[in-house]
């Protein structure tokens, strides 16, 4: 992906719910949204193996191809059926796994302001990272572009962390995430 191109041109979401310039990797882990209105963005962090970056583990997890013998941690999670709409790699590359019009399986047991099942009305964005390290400037730039794109296309009312909708169960995007860098 040409990151300079992204900086000079805003991201475009097509009528099928895909960002045209994102790398598309189809995940089977989605279903039909029970609600048509998308009103929230949920920010996550993920790294596979934990605290390691740049490999294919995240893509393998979201496409049900994670090899349980490749890393001891994978043996614990390889049967999970999870996904997210987007992943932003450390270098700012944007990958999309699920159309925004479909329900990705990123939030799990969750609730926000009395509404349960946040997957029903949210878009999930994973940042390649962890709770223990700062995110890269390129990730914030891409995240800001993506949030702006989503706000232009949907009635986004909140941008929250996974920890906000699943307190006590989830900690991401973590204390190193700089909320002021997204508007």
Average pLDDT, the chain: 94
CATH entry 3.40.50.2020 includes domain 3-9+22-181: no
pLDDT attached to residue 110: 97
Contacts of 179 (CB under 8 A, 6+ apart): none
> Token pair 């390290």 is at which residue?
133
Contacts of 101 (CB under 8 A, 6+ apart): 16, 17, 33
Helix (H, G, I), strand (E, B) or coil at 160: strand
Average pLDDT of span 23-38: 93
Give the pLDDT confidence of 82-136 residue by residue, as tens digits: 999 999 999 999 999 999 999 999 999 999 999 999 999 999 999 999 999 999 9
Indicate the domain borders of the chain: 3-9+22-181
Give the pLDDT confidence of 132-155 residue by residue, as tens digits: 999 999 999 999 999 999 999 999
Q: In this structure, what are the phi and psi dihedrals at residue 60, rounded to the nearest 5 degrees?
A: -65, -40
Q: Which of 35, 37, 126, 128 is catalytic?
A: 126
Active site residue 126: yes
CA torsion 164-103-116-79 (nearest 10°) is: -80
Asked if the model's pLDDT at residue 168 lies above 50, the reply is yes
CA dihedral for 178, 102, 49, 94, sign (positive or negative): negative
How confident is residue 9, by pLDDT bands cut at 50, 70 and 90? Answer: confident
If residue 58 lies in a helix (H) or strand (E), which one and from where to where? helix 57-62
């Amino acid at each position: 992906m040409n990151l300079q191109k992204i900086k000079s041109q805003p991201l475009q979401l097509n009528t099928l719910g895909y960002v045209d310039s994102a790398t598309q990797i189809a995940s089977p882990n989605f279903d039909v949204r029970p609600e048509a209105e998308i009103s929230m963005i949920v920010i996550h962090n993920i790294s596979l193996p934990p605290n390691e970056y740049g490999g294919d583990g995240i893509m393998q997890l979201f496409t049900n191809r994670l090899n349980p013998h490749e890393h001891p941690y994978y043996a614990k999670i390889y049967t999970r059926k999870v996904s997210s709409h987007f992943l932003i790699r450390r270098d700012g590359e944007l990958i999309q796994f699920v159309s925004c019009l479909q329900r990705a399986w990123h939030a799990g047991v969750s609730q926000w302001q009395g509404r349960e099942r946040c997957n029903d009305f949210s878009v999930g964005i994973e940042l390649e990272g962890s709770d223990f390290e700062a995110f890269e400037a390129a990730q914030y730039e891409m995240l800001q572009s993506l949030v702006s794109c989503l706000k232009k296309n949907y009635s986004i009312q909140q941008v929250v962390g996974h920890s906000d909708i699943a307190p006590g169960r989830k900690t991401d995007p973590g204390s190193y995430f700089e909320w002021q860098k997204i508007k």
